[in-house]
Every structure is written in structure tokens, then in C-alpha cells.
Chain A
Amino acid sequence: MNPELIEKVTKLIVEKLQTQNGTGSSHSHASAEPKTAVKFWNHTSAASVSDFQAAAEPSGLAEKTAGNELITFGSYSERRQADSKKRIVKEQTKDIVHPSSGIENPYDPEGLKELISKTPARIGIGRAGLRPKTETWLKFRFDHAAAVDAVYGTVNEELLNRLDLFKVSTMVSDKEVYIRRPDYGRKLSEEAKQMISEKCPKEPAVQIIISDGLSSSAVEENVEDVYLSLQQSLKSLGIDTGIPFYIEKGRVAVMDDVGELLQPKVIVLLIGERPGLVSAESLSAYLCYMPRKGTIEADRMVISNIHKGGIPPVEAGAYIGTVVQKILKYEASGVSLVQKES
């Protein structure tokens, strides 16, 4: 065939396809505002920005993008550490301060704003037909992914060094085991026991321990401020704190093992909470008076929801100090404390 003709026909077809795609995508994405969607991907890694823009194009490209995304996904936590940490924080605060509604022409815009300001839940997001809008859906997927990453991530060594914490582990070898065998997460490994016995003085008034639990991001984002503020609080109350350390892949009841080893009066365990869709970075402080093997759950108490959008970490640290003081005074925690108090 005439090569010129082939070229001409090909050109025609390509042009036609392009215009079709163009109008097609502008129809289906008319209200989706891919620009806003891009901003979510922005946080995961700077590299995927262009990929994502391509995702609005025909499906062949989208598949490729998904592939790329999978590859970048693995190095997500480190990358995020390096360059996107600040932006995530900013974005979250912005979301909290200025919630925007996805409802077009609301009947009572001020009333809607008021309602949205009352909850971090996804309300007033509008809809496209029966489904949520693309932006909402992407945000949901993003938050879900962040939650998954929080579970599978690890806490940066640099943070532990900065806080002068040594690291031990539980009987759990990897995260899959951690999830399947909660009982392993409640027991210290033999090496851990030895190391703790060597490094920590026995019978302090308060033993502070930190563990990633189900959210390494919770620890990375919040533990430093809670910990320093708690230390200051305990110090100004004149309470002695022993030598704190970090337990990798721990569960709440791992404090019982530590209690047996070091015999402290009170243990404060700062541990990452199971991530949710509002925040994957929520930290809890579990407190217990003389936790030992066989301690019942009713004797533990918790201050939860410590994160940038919840209880400010610095304020939480200051508050935990006064709770410790109360536990020491009544020599009880949890339900027993409530009983003794009243």
C-alpha cells in the first residue's frame, strides 16, 4: 500500500481517537476535578504526580500507572519521611480548619458548614449519581492506604536515637506473624529480656515504654512530643522514671512482661493505635499500676486519640503526668482506681 496513504489514515484515526478521548474524559470527569485529586497523590511521592495526571487518560495508560504506583509503594514510608512529611501535616491541619463541602448549591450553606465542622467523618461530601464523587473516593482510598501503611511500616531509627531509646523486640519475627499471633506480641523475646535487665534499673516509680503497636506512623508523628512533655511533667512532680526503651511489634499486655522484669510501680506504654480512616497516626497511652503476669484488663487505663487532629501530643504528655501522680497516690489504676477514688 501507499505509505503516504497509510500515514494519512493513521493520522486521521489517531486524531479522531484523541478528540473522542478528550471529549469523553471531559464528560465523565466534568465534576470530578482531577486537579484536586492530584493533591492526594502528591503526598505519597513526588514522582507519581505526572503518572496520576496520566490516569485520567485512556485505560491502557492507567494500568501502567497502577504498575508504577505499586513500585513506588514499597519505598513509600522512607520517601514520605524524607520529603512529604511536612506537607501531610499541613494538609491535615488545613482539612480540619477549613472543611469544604462537596454539595453543590446547598440549601443552607452555613448550617452545612456548622455540621461538617462538628465531625471528622465524611459528611456533606455530595454524590455523583448513587456513588461518592471521585475526589471523595480518592481521599477515602488514600486514607485507607495510609492506614495499611501505618500497620506495615517501621519506626525510624533516627527518632529512637534522638530520644535515646534502645530497641528490643517481642517474640514476633515479622508483621504477618504479628497480625496472626497477638499472643507473641505480648511476650518479650529472650534477647529482649536480657537486654532490659542489663540496661534498666529495677523498681523505678514509673517505667516509660514505647511501642509501634499497630501504627508506626503514630509513633513517628507524635511520640516525641508526648514523651518529652511527659518527662517534663513527671520531673516537675518529682517522680522518678527509670530508663525508657522501645519495643518493636508489641501489644499492650507486653507491659506485664516488663513489669515482671523491672518491678516498677507504674508503667506508661505509648503505643500506636489501630489506624482508622480519620487518622492513621493516633497514639494511645496505656497506664497500669504494678502490671504483672495475670494482670486483668480492667486494671489498665488508656488515654487515646493523641494526634495532631485529636488531643495535642504536648498537652497529653502534661496530662498523663497528673494521671500517673494519681495512680501512685491511690496505688491503683483502671477500675480499681475509680473505686478507691470514690
Chain B
Amino acid sequence: MSAIKKYEPQQEEILSAGIDIGTSTTKLVISKFSLMNMAGGAHMPRIEIIDKKVLYRSPIFRTPLLSATTIDMKAVDELVKKEYQSAGVETKDIQTGAVIITGETATKQNAQEMVHHLSDQAGDFLVAAAGPDLEGIIAAKGSGAYEYSKKTGKTIANIDIGGGTANVAVFKSGKLCGTCTLHIGGRLIEFSGNQIKSISSPIKALFRQWGDPFSGMREGDSRNRQEIKSLTGFMAAVIARMLNRELLPADQPLLLGHEPDWQEAIDAIMFSGGISECLYHYEAGTPATAHYDDIGEILAASLRESKELAQWQWIHPDETVRATVLGAGTQTTEISGATIHVEASDLPIRNLPVFQVPFRHDVKDGLKRMHESVQQALEIYDSQRDGQNFALYITELPYLGFRDVQELAAAILDAIRIKPNPEQPLVLVLESDHAKVLGQTIKVQKPNQRIICIDQIKVEHGDYIDIGHLLQTNVVPVVIKTLTFHH
């Protein structure tokens, strides 16, 4: 047996939670990640996530609201607590994951408070995430669109339509090409009985632009008005124009944020989100099919009938209404390299903005710019000098000899002296496998420096990074929140 044991790689399992608080619905998943040392016995360890298993899917709940503009935080807390119980997990068992607040809910008064509160309460290292671009990306990972692009090399647009927004993310060969968000969703007009209960403001703006008879539509009117079908038909056409990057000035009231920013022609499309459920009925028989009393079904029908949208191949999603929550629960965590230098007491560390220092494959060149880079990072992220920490992301390192590492460590230590709070842990993220030696060298040069030095993580300048607790396999889970991207 002992001979077999020698080659048995180190492994462990961690639990991840995903919580999605959307415009109409709130849901939660618990999944289990299996981590394993994938390097052979004679190599330095390389820990990878080799399996992700969804252990528990909550029912789809209505998002609890106190009023039209405030989330019922207490009710959300209760809901999460209850669902953890049903799943048979405790808060302290959750080692990674993300809470994401999506769609119109993100515009509620207490949205930010809610998401940060929940990320603190519902797990030791739950990451707070929000923002329409991020939503689109996470949904595309949960729906299977990202995987599809990776497998086929095709360009696919995932269109996640929920109650309030349609979040589009375009992937090609597993690479993000761009995103776009539209005010298109089921809950933009709500009904009550036979009457229109509410019309959201972007739709009102659109109606005003269209003039009579649309501009005359009011709450309390009959729900059977022809104009509603015209509206959903228009929405389908706007989606098609957006996919072609040909939005018209008349479409602008529905655009949330930036114009579509990918360059590629789209080969295939995939729908996820609540409206996708209306199209595909994956959750038939579960509480998800509850009647929502809004334009969701009509919108789904318009999408199905749209001639413009028929020009693309439609790929069935793996998940409909749960795409975002699965994305948040299973697709946000990465694992650092296995030879790193961290001080366990300083972890987890949250929401650090990333400042990239590219070395352009030249040590001298990079070292020269180190001071300037730290200065710039301070100007951007801590302009008031109140101690907002940031991570330095050192990329494009050339081959480093021992003496280069010494110089690099010294240059970093020298450069960070201008930070207002020197007690703060120095957070370094390296693209290449050098974290242990750099961390160690910094420690030798300045023994009282608190330092977190991790590697083999790909982030982008301007991303936000969260670094979790040190795991038994000597890696840390990392969640990167991509808020911008480059072509």
C-alpha cells in the first residue's frame, strides 16, 4: 500500500456558495470543489480544481422587498439561513463563492449594503459582486455559453434576460470579447389582475419618444393592449441590432451603460435567465414556474417569433433561470499557484483594486518604473491617502535570476514607502511562478513587512481581487471581479 500512497496526490474539498439576488427572484446554490495536486511526485505541487459538484439548489424565491426601492435585508438573511439548513451546511463551512446582486435590484437604495452584509454573514470568504458587465459574464459561464465557445471555437453571445435587464456577454474560444446591457426584462411592465400595475421608467421614456398611442399608456390601463406586443417585438429587434452592433438612436432609451464593445461577428446565441425559462421550461413543475404577472411570457414569445433573431443559430442553455447563481457559485473561484508566500493571519483580504506593473520582459526597465507605478496606483485608488490598499500585479517578467529577485524585492520595498499606511500588508500578484522566492526575499530584506505574495493568477489592470484563507493544500482561493477588459 505504501508504494501507492507515494503517488497519491494531496487533495481536499471545499464548499462554495453562490447567491443571486435578482430583480424578480433570489436563489442560492451550494457546490463542492475537489482540489488535487496534479503534478507528478517529482514535481513541485500544482493544485487544480478537478471537479465541481452542485450539492444543493434552492427553490427560486421572490426577492423580498420592503418597498419599491429597498430590499428586505432581514428577509434575505432569513432566507439564506434557512436554505443553508436545508442544504445541511453551516456558514463556517463555506470557504468560497460569491453573492451577486443583479438587474434592477442593484439600483435599490440599500443594494450595496445588502451585498456586503451578506458576503460577511453568509460565509468566511464570500465575495460581493455587482455590475451589469460582471452579471453578463457570470451568467454566460453559468449557462454553458462560455464552455460552448471554448469547445467549438465559435463566437457566442449569451443573453441573460431577467426581470429588469438583459445582460449580454460575448465569448469566442473561451475568451471574453465584450458585453452590453439593455433595459429589457419581464418585469418592466407588471400586471395586477386585468390591469397594468406598473411601467418602469426606461419604458416610459421609450413610450414618450414613440408618442401616441404609447405615450398615453398609464398604470391602470387594460393589460390586453396591442401596444404591449409591439413593445416586446421592438425589444427583440433591439436585441438583434445590439448583437450586430447597429443600435439606432431610437433604441437608446433601452441601453444601460456602454454600447456593445466586441468586434467579432456572432455565430450563435444562447438565452438564459427568467425569460429563457419561459422559452425552455427546464424547471417545469418546480416553484420556478410560478406566475409572475408581467410581460415575461409575451417577451419570450416575441423572441421566439423574431425574424431578426432567427438569423443566428440558437443553442440551448444548460441552465435557464439559474445561470447566474450557478456562475456565481461555481465559476468565480480560481486557485493560486502552490508555492506562494502568505501570512495566514492577514487573510482573507477583500476588494483590492489591481494595479498592473508590466515589466515588458526587461528587469531594468520594470525596476525603473516601480516607483512611478506605485505613485500612480496611489493616485488612482487612494487619492485621499486614507489607506485604501491595492494589489500590485507584476506581469511580463523576464527570466529572473537570484540577483534579479533581490533587486526586485528591494525596489518594491523602496517604492511602497510612499504608501500612507506602512503597516498594511503588501499584496503582490505575479503572473509567473515566482511568488515564494519573492515573498521570502522581501521577508529577508524587511522582516517586519506583512506580505501576501501569490502567483499564477491572471487578472487585468483595474480588476478587483479577493484572496481567501490559506487552504490545506497550501493554495488560496482567489476571486477576480473583472469590471473592465481590453481587446
Contacts and interface: CB of A to CB of B under 8 A. Distances in A.
Interface of A: 89, 93, 108, 110-111, 114, 224-225, 228-229, 232-233, 235-236, 284, 298, 301-305, 308, 311-319, 321-322, 334-335, 338-339, 342
Given A312-B400, A312-B433, A229 B405 contact: yes
B458 to A, nearest CB: 14
Contacts of B400: 312, 314
Interface in B279-294: none
A53 B3 CA distance: 55
Contact of B434 (A89, A232, A303, A315): A315
B43 A314 contact: no
B50 interface: no
B399 A229 contact: no
B153 interface: yes
Contacts of B380: none
B441 interface: yes
B401 A111 contact: no
Given A232-B440, A232-B444, A312-B434, A319 B3 contact: no
B205 interface: no
Contact of B5 (A302, A305, A338): A338
A213 to B, nearest CB: 15
15 contacts: A108-B153, A110-B153, A228-B402, A233-B440, A236-B440, A304-B42, A305-B43, A308-B399, A313-B401, A313-B402, A314-B400, A319-B339, A334-B6, A335-B6, A338-B2
A302 B42 CA distance: 5
Interface in B320-365: 339
A224 B440 contact: no
A304 B43 contact: yes
A320 B72 CA distance: 53
A334 B5 CA distance: 11
Contacts of A305: 42-43
A229 B437 CA distance: 7
B436 A318 contact: yes
A228 B433 CA distance: 17
B156 to A, nearest CB: 15
Contacts of A110: 153, 173
B44 interface: yes
Contacts of B440: 232-233, 236, 318, 321
Contacts of A111: 153, 173
A224 B401 contact: yes
A232 B444 CA distance: 8
B43 A315 contact: no
B443 interface: yes
Given A298-B6, A334-B6, 20 more contacts: A108-B153, A111-B173, A114-B173, A225-B402, A232-B402, A232-B441, A233-B437, A233-B440, A236-B440, A298-B3, A301-B42, A305-B43, A308-B399, A311-B433, A312-B400, A312-B437, A315-B433, A315-B436, A321-B440, A322-B436
A19 to B, nearest CB: 46
Interface in B156-189: 173
Contacts of B339: 315, 318-319
Contact of B3 (A89, A225, A317, A335): A335
Q: Which of B44, B153, B437 has the most CB of A within 10 A?
A: B437
Nearest to A222: B401
Contacts of A314: 400-402, 405, 434, 437
Contacts of A93: 398-399
Give the 7 A-B residue pairs with the shortest CB-CB distance, closest first: A318-B437, A228-B402, A318-B436, A314-B437, A304-B42, A225-B402, A302-B42
B375 interface: no
A315 B437 contact: yes
Contacts of A335: 2-3, 5-6
A319 B2 contact: no
Given A303-B42, A311-B43, A319-B339, A342 B5 contact: yes
B401 A225 contact: yes
B432 interface: yes
